[in-house]
């Protein structure tokens, strides 16, 4: 049985979030939660929230499922749309500021 969760339009670049996602790929569900709580980055909070959602989706799909049997089968961090802003510079010029977003997808599974 697989359970999915998505988190879209997170205000963090995908490359920064991937650094945290690579740390928990393939780990069991409870152990991944402990690892994310110990990582002092913004991405760990966003991924943790999505991971809790995937766990709740798995519990809803089959209520007799134990959380200890779940593991992270797939975690994908994709780029979202970029917000474009401008900052004034010298001599009347302007430079573009790119505020990047990301989409997080987590798939939990209990099959080995």
Which tens digit of pLDDT belongs to each residue from 10-56?
999 999 999 999 999 999 999 999 999 999 999 999 999 999 999 99
pTM (predicted TM-score): 0.92
Distance CA 85, CA 64 (A): 49
Q: Indicate the CATH number for domain 2-109.
A: 3.90.470.10
On the question of pLDDT at 112 being above 70, the answer is no
Question: Could you tell me which residues come within 8 angstroms of residue 18 by beta carbon, excluding any fewer than 6 positions away?
Answer: 77
Mean pLDDT of 59-68: 92
Boundaries of every domain in the chain: 2-109
């Amino acid at each position: 049985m697989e359970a999915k969760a998505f988190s879209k339009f997170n205000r963090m670049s995908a490359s920064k979030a991937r650094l945290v996602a690579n740390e928990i790929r393939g780990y069991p569900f409870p152990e991944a939660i402990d690892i994310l709580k110990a990582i002092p980055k913004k991405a760990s909070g966003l991924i943790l929230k999505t991971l809790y959602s995937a766990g709740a989706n798995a519990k809803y799909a089959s209520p007799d499922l134990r959380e200890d049997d779940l593991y992270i089968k797939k975690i994908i961090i994709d780029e979202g749309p970029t917000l474009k802003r401008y900052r004034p510079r010298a001599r009347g010029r302007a430079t573009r500021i790119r505020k990047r977003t990301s989409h997080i997808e987590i798939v939990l599974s209990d099959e080995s």
